[in-house]
Amino acid sequence: MRTAILLAAVLLCAAVAHGQAWVAPMRVVRQNYNDTNGPNQGAISRFGDSITVSMAFFSPLQWGHSNTTSASQAALSWIQSWNTAASWTWQQDAIAAQHGSWGGTTSAWPLESAAGWAGAQAGERKVDYWLRNDNPEMAVIMFGTNDLNAGLTKATYKANLLSVVQACTANGTIPILTTIPPRHGYDNGSGANLQRATDYYDAVHELATTYNLPLIEYHDECTTRNPHNPPTSSWDGADAMWSGYSGYEVPTSISTDGVHPSNYSLGRSNFSETGLDVNGFNLRNYVTLMGSKEVYDKVIVPEPASMALLALGATALLRRRRR
């Protein structure tokens, strides 16, 4: 018992050294992972709806970007060399559903039966199918946009996400939650969906805090870069101030439908502050890239500082055992 407590303390110290409560727990999750590729090659699953299945998300990270910093360029170089070639194609329409993303889906979709998919096992859920077949090191999870329209309660939404998280951790896959983009004025003034959006935001944060999970804060990135204060500035492409633009071609975080991230041409694959301000998908790519790289550095291939702490803890354990 004392050995276990000491080891837990050492792991906690390593996490504190990074300032991240999820580091030690995710290292424990990682111990359940059957890594057939080794740390130099892996995959990141993307579980979500139309905001995820879009080829404007994640796929551009396999190519060069302009106006990178040393940190973002290092992250790009990492993901381009580490991510398996096959996994870049997982969002292509013909196969996307079998790898974790499809338009119009809610947080309940991953928990539905995978019956009918090639090689599906009896009683297997979709999320179990994805994890068994793709065996990703990490899974970026963002459902919620369609849950709003379906009227799912906060409790149901939160329970669904937790089930997906638990499936990931059972496989040794590190789950990375992502807050959904901000929404405004799309429910005919009733306010019901706006309240639900707040509830969902809270639910994701509560899950991340309770279960010590990595979190990508996409919602706040959008609202901080483009505060919702028309006509001065607004993240919402549906606002009248953006009436001269159409579809995804609007220079703010959300497209003119008020739902999906924008994909303004001047911000594509541009990691300057301006590029991140005017293109919502580019912004999501950036925060996903940097968040994934942090998980890789701190959990999959821990940094020297953490390894030193772990080594000290191991030495202490050996000394105790010899007494």
- Here the CATH number for the domain that contains residue 247 is 3.40.50.1110
Asked whether residue 7 falls in the same domain as residue 131, the answer is no
Asked whether residue 271 falls in the same domain as residue 321, the answer is no
Asked whether residue 193 falls in the same domain as residue 275, the answer is yes
What average pLDDT does the segment 167-193 reach? 83
Does residue 64 contact residue 119 with C-beta atoms inside 8 Å?
no
Q: Is the pLDDT of residue 315 over 50?
A: no
Asked whether residue 146 falls in the same domain as residue 18, the answer is no
Q: Please report the pLDDT score of residue 3 as a whole number.
A: 45
pLDDT band at 191 (very low <50, low <70, confident <90, very high): low
Asked whether residue 171 falls in the same domain as residue 159, the answer is yes
Asked whether residue 295 falls in the same domain as residue 305, the answer is no
21 token code pair: 């409560």
Q: What is the pLDDT of residues 208-219, one digit of tens each?
A: 999 999 999 999
- Domains in the chain, number: 2
At 261, give phi and psi (nearest 5°). -60, 150
Asked whether residue 230 falls in the same domain as residue 112, the answer is yes
Q: Is the pLDDT of residue 281 over 80?
A: yes
Q: Is the pLDDT of residue 273 over 60?
A: yes
The mean pLDDT value of the chain amounts to 88
Asked whether residue 15 falls in the same domain as residue 110, the answer is no
Q: What is the pLDDT of residues 17-48, one digit of tens each?
A: 445 899 999 999 999 999 988 778 999 999 99
What average pLDDT does the segment 301-307 reach? 56
Q: Is the pLDDT of residue 322 over 90?
A: no
Asked whether residue 319 falls in the same domain as residue 184, the answer is no
Q: Please report the pLDDT score of residue 321 as a whole number.
A: 43
Q: Which residue, among 103, 89, 210, 121, has the nearest Cα to 161 in the 3D structure?
A: 210
221 token code pair: 């990135």
Q: Please report the pLDDT score of residue 30 as a whole number.
A: 96
Which residue do the tokens 């003119």 mark? 256
Query: Which structural domain range is residue 60 located in?
Result: 40-299
Asked whether residue 171 falls in the same domain as residue 22, the answer is no
Peptide bond into 231 cis (omega under 30): yes
Asked whether residue 172 falls in the same domain as residue 69, the answer is yes
- The Cα 54–Cα 42 span in angstroms is 21
Asked whether residue 108 falls in the same domain as residue 236, the answer is yes
Sign of the dihedral defined by the CA atoms of residues 118, 123, 127, 132, in that order: negative
Q: Report the alpha-carbon angle 303-60-219, nearest 5.
A: 70
